[in-house]
Structure 1
Amino acid sequence: MLSKELTTTVALLLINLTVCPYLTPQYLDFSIGRYSLYSPSLTIIFKKGYGLRLLVCASPEVKPGFYLDKEGRIIAFKPMLLQVGDWYRLSLVKEGNLVKVSLTALNDTWIATRIDYLPTFYKQGIAFGKKSIYFTGTSILIKLSLSKEVINYNADPIPNKLKDEGYFHLGDLDYYNGSLYIPVEREGYERPAVIAIYDTDELKMVSYFYTPQDHMPWLAVDGEGLIYTSEYSPVSEILVYNVRNLKAGSYIKPVKSIKLNRTLGGVQGGAFYRGRLYLSVMDGWIYEVDLSTGTVRRLFKLPDFYEMEGMDVYELADGTLYHVLINTNLNRNLVYHLTKLTKGQRLALFTIKGEVGEIVSIIKPPWVNSTLRS
C-alpha cells in the first residue's frame, strides 16, 4: 500500500493559476476523495514565499491538518482531520495588513479537531466519567485525568480465578454510576464471555457475570443501567443484559435482543449518547443505531488503514464529542476527538501579517476536487 501511495504522490497534478493579488477575498472549494497515509492532499503556493498545505493522512508518523510554511519552514500548524467526501471552503481574506485564513463547512460534517498520540498498550477501549478518562489495553486498565496525566493503573486486572479459566482480553469499556463495566474474553474467543464490574479508584474487579457469547469486544450501559453488547462479526442484533442485584459469578442470559436492519462486520466499540447507540466498526465508519427500530445509519468515516477500537461519546470543554481509539500496530496509537460542524460554520485557521502575494500554483492529487473562486 505504501509503494502505491508514493507512486500516487509522484503523479500529483500541478495546476498553474494566475490570479489577482488579495484585493478581494479568494475562496477554494474542495472535497477530499479518500484518506492517504503520508502525502499532502492539497498544497497552495504563494508568490511571496508562503505555502499552505493540507494533510488528510492516517499515519501516526505524520500529523493531519493545515500547515503554514514560509520559505520552506513551518511557521504554524492547525491539527485537523477532515471528512472524506464532504465539501469545504478555504477562505483567504485581506484585512488591512493582515491575511486571514479560515475553513467553512459547505455541508454538515464531522472533523477531528484534536488527535492524541498514545503508547501502544492503550489499544482496546476508552470511556469518560468522574472527570477522568479510562483506557483498556488487552490486559491493563488505566485511569487518566482529563489533562491526560496518569492517576492510576492496574497491570493485572483479571483475577487469578478467571485467568485460570482462560480469560485474558479486556474490551471496550463504559462508565456508569461510579463503576466501570468491561467485557472480558477467553483464549480462543470461546463462550462464556464475561461482563465484569470494576471500581474506579483501585481499578479492581468487584463482580463478574458469565454470558452465552463467544466474543464480546465492547459494551455500553444506558441510562437505566442495562448493558448493550454484541458478538464481533457478523452482527445482526444487539444483546441486552441486566446484572442488577445478581450474585457475582452468575450465569446470565440476555433480557432482550434488538434486530438491526443491516448486518455489520467487525464491531469494536460502542457508546450511548442521548438515547442513541453509536458503534465503531472495522470498515472505518461510526454508526448510529436507533434502538426503537433497529435502524442503522452511517454517521462519519475515519481512515481504515488500521484497526478501529473502542469509542465514547462525551462532551468535552474543547467542543469535541466523539472519541475513537485506533490501534495502528505501530509505535503509537491514536485517539481522534471529533466535533460536528453544521453547514456554513467557520473555523479560523491562521492570521498572516503582511502580504502573501498572489497564488502561483495549486498542487493536488487526482482524488481531490477543487474550484477556485473570487
Structure 2
Amino acid sequence: MNKCFLSAAAAAILSFGIAGQAFALPEPDMSPKYTYELKDVMKVDGRQGVACDGKYIYVSCSKVLYKYDMDGKLVLKNDKPFETGYTKAVNHLGDIDVYNGEIYCGVENFMDGVGKDIQVSVYDANTLKFKRAFPFNEASGQLETSGITVDPVKGTVWMCSWVGEESGRYLYEYDLDGNYLRKVHLQPVPQWVQGVFYYDGSLFLTADDGTADDNEPDHLYRVDISSASYAPVILEKTFTETIKQGEIEGLCVDPSTGDLLVHQNRGARIVLGMTKGMYPGYKSEVHEIYRYKLTPNK
C-alpha cells in the first residue's frame, strides 16, 4: 500500500477524532448545586409525596390527598380520589406536583413492588377533586410510577420509577396533553427512586437507597437534562440528620421561600413498597416534612 494513501487515511482518522471531540458533551459538574440547612420538621398525614404552591402544602397518601395551610393546619382532604374518572382500577398515588392550580399525580395499581395501569391524573388544587387523566405509553418500558413533576419552562411532565432493573434506569417525559416524548437514561442509576422535582433547570431525585434496618441514610440526587438520551446523576445530599432513618418519599420547593421540602416516613418496616409491621418503640408510622434552606454553592 502506498505511503500517500496511508497518510490520507491517517489524516481522515485524525479529522474524525477532532470532529468527534468538537461534538462531545461537556464534562458535567459533579459538585452539589446547593448546601442544605434544616429549618424545621412538620408532622403530616399521608406517606407518599409533597407539593407546594406557596399558599398551601399538598400531601399524598396511597389513597388520600391532603391540603394544609402554611402553618401545618389541615384544611381539606379527599379520601376517595379514585371514585370517579378512571376506566381502569387504580389504588396508589405516588409523589405529586402542583402547577397552574392543578395537582399532578402518578397513579397506578400497585401491589408488592409491582405497578400496573400507570396513569397521570390531574386534580383541582382548590377542591382536590379529580379533573382528568391520561395513560402512560407501554412501549416506554416503564413498570411503575413513584413520582411526577412538571417542568414549567418546557411545559412537560417527568415521571420516575421505583421499580429497579430496566424500568428504574430512566426518567420518562410526556407533554401536558399526555403524548409520550422520550426517556432519559440515568448514569449512574440511583436505587429505589421515590420522588422527582424540577427546580432551577435541574431535576432532583430522592432515593430510598439507605437500609433502614442498618440505620443508613437516604439521598438526594441532581440530574441535569439535555437533549441527549442519557444524563449524569450527581449526589446532592445525604440525609444524616433524619430523626430516625426510614423511608424517604417525595420532594418539592416552596416557591414563596425557596426552601426544599422533603417527605420522610419512620417507624414502619417496608418490604417491596408495603408496610410490614413496626420497628421497636413505634405503634404507628410517622410522616413528616423536613424543610431545608437552600443556599447556592459558588
- Quickly say closer, same or farther: Cα 1:157–1:273, change in 2 above 3 A: same
Residues in 2 aligned to 1:214 and 1:109: alpha-carbon distance in whole angstroms: 33
**CA positional deviation for 1:327:** 1.4
Root-mean-square deviation over aligned CA pairs = 2.2
1:295 is matched with: 232
Query: Which of 135, 156, 173 lines up with 1:240 in the alignment?
Result: 173
**1:323-348 deviation per Cα after TM superposition (whole angstroms, max 9, x unaligned):** 110111344222111124579xxxxx
CA contact (8 A) 1:168 1:185 kept: yes
Query: Which of 204, 207, 216 lines up with 1:278 in the alignment?
Result: 204
Query: Which of 129, 144, 158 lines up with 2:68 in the alignment?
Result: 144
Residue aligned with 1:111, SS = strand
- Quickly say closer, same or farther: Cα 1:296–1:187, change in 2 above 3 A: closer
CA contact (8 A) 2:160 2:171 kept: yes
Residue aligned with 1:256, SS = strand
Residue aligned with 1:227, SS = strand
Residues in 2 aligned to 1:315 and 1:206: alpha-carbon distance in whole angstroms: 24
Bigger Rg, which one: 1
1:176 is matched with: 99
Which structure's residues are more often helix, by fraction?
2
Higher RCO (CA < 8 A, seq sep 6+) = 1
Query: Which of 107, 126, 136 lines up with 1:201 in the alignment?
Result: 126
CA contact (8 A) 1:220 1:227 kept: yes
Residues in 2 aligned to 1:325 and 1:132: alpha-carbon distance in whole angstroms: 15
- Quickly say closer, same or farther: Cα 1:229–1:342, change in 2 above 3 A: closer
Which amino acid is the alignment partner of residue 312 of structure 1? C
1:100 is matched with: none
Residue aligned with 1:191, SS = strand
**CA positional deviation for 1:230:** 2.1
**CA positional deviation for 1:138:** 0.9
1:268 is matched with: 194
Spell out the pairing of 1:47-86 with structure 2 (5 A cutoff). Answer: none
**CA positional deviation for 1:253:** 5.6
Q: TM-score, normalised by structure 1?
A: 0.56
Spell out the pairing of 1:1-374 with structure 2 (5 A cutoff). Answer: 109-118=35-44, 121-129=45-53, 131-160=55-84, 162=86, 165-188=88-111, 189-211=114-136, 212=138, 213-223=142-152, 224-234=154-164, 235-244=168-177, 254-283=180-209, 284-292=218-226, 294-303=231-240, 305-317=245-257, 321-328=259-266, 329=268, 330-340=284-294
Residues in 2 aligned to 1:326 and 1:136: alpha-carbon distance in whole angstroms: 12
Residue aligned with 1:158, SS = coil
Residues in 2 aligned to 1:334 and 1:286: alpha-carbon distance in whole angstroms: 16
CA contact (8 A) 1:273 1:314 kept: no
Residue aligned with 2:180, SS = coil
**CA positional deviation for 1:314:** 2.5
Residues in 2 aligned to 1:287 and 1:238: alpha-carbon distance in whole angstroms: 13
Which amino acid is the alignment partner of residue 237 of structure 2? F
**1:246-281 deviation per Cα after TM superposition (whole angstroms, max 9, x unaligned):** xxxxxx562111222211111111111111110110
Give the number of equivalent residue pairs. Answer: 224
**Percent identity for Structure 1 against Structure 2:** 24
**CA positional deviation for 1:225:** 2.3
CA contact (8 A) 2:252 2:262 kept: yes
Residues in 2 aligned to 1:227 and 1:208: alpha-carbon distance in whole angstroms: 13
Q: TM-score, normalised by structure 2?
A: 0.69
Residues in 2 aligned to 1:222 and 1:127: alpha-carbon distance in whole angstroms: 14
CA contact (8 A) 1:218 1:229 kept: yes
- Quickly say closer, same or farther: Cα 1:110–1:167, change in 2 above 3 A: same
Which amino acid is the alignment partner of residue 264 of structure 2? I
CA contact (8 A) 1:126 1:135 kept: yes
Unaligned runs of 5+ in 1: 1-107, 245-251, 344-374
